[in-house]
Amino acid sequence: MTRNDPKSTLNQAGGSINHRAGYDFDKETKREALRLSHYRCEVCGKMKHETPEGFLSIHHLLPICIALEFYPEFSASLIASLANTMVVCVECHKEQDMLSMKYHEAFAQALLASTKQPKKPPRSASKVIYISSR
């Protein structure tokens, strides 16, 4: 047994960075997310050159830190799957991160549902939550 004592990973919010390996989207998933969003922020519709920062990010609908803490049964590949992506600009990303923390149960359910209906785009769930929170 060369594994670390699990207790040693229970420090501070966010936990160990190493545990996030595999939970991040790979290049292909990011590319596909951008393609599906038509290279626009899914919240405000800006393209990367229209943002002050000049780039778009791929947000985790169910954030890695939340998944690690509340949904340990979710696999890394599920967290890193296309169904968990959302293309956002820097400005909208802040808000989405807050929503993801607040409504993580809904995002977790949507993510689980996506595994049963792989063809269904993951977009609707987040949009509904976004609108209803306003």
The answer for residues whose C-beta is within 8 angstroms of residue 70's C-beta and 6 or more apart is 104, 108
Least Å distance, CB 73 to Zn ion, is 22
- Sign of the Cα torsion 61, 110, 126, 77 reads positive
Asked whether 71 and 23 are in contact (CB, 8 A), the reply is: no
Given a contact cutoff of 8 angstroms between Cβ atoms, the answer to whether 41 and 89 are in contact is yes
Q: Closest CB to Zn ion among 70 and 117?
A: 70
Residues 55-74 that bind Zn ion (CB under 5 A): 59
* Contact between residue 72 and residue 110 where contact means Cβ atoms under 8 Å apart: no
Restricting to residues 12-31, name those near Zn ion by CB under 5 A: none
User: Which of 54/117 has CB closer to Zn ion?
Assistant: 54
Among 34, 36, 97, 106, binds Zn ion (CB under 5 A): 97
41 interacts with Zn ion by CB under 5 A:
yes
* Smallest separation (angstroms) from Zn ion to the CB of 123: 15
Q: Which is nearer to Zn ion, 59 or 104 (CB)?
A: 59
Residue with the two structure tokens 């899914």: 42
Residues of this chain that interact with Zn ion (CB under 5 A) are 41, 43-44, 59, 89, 92, 97
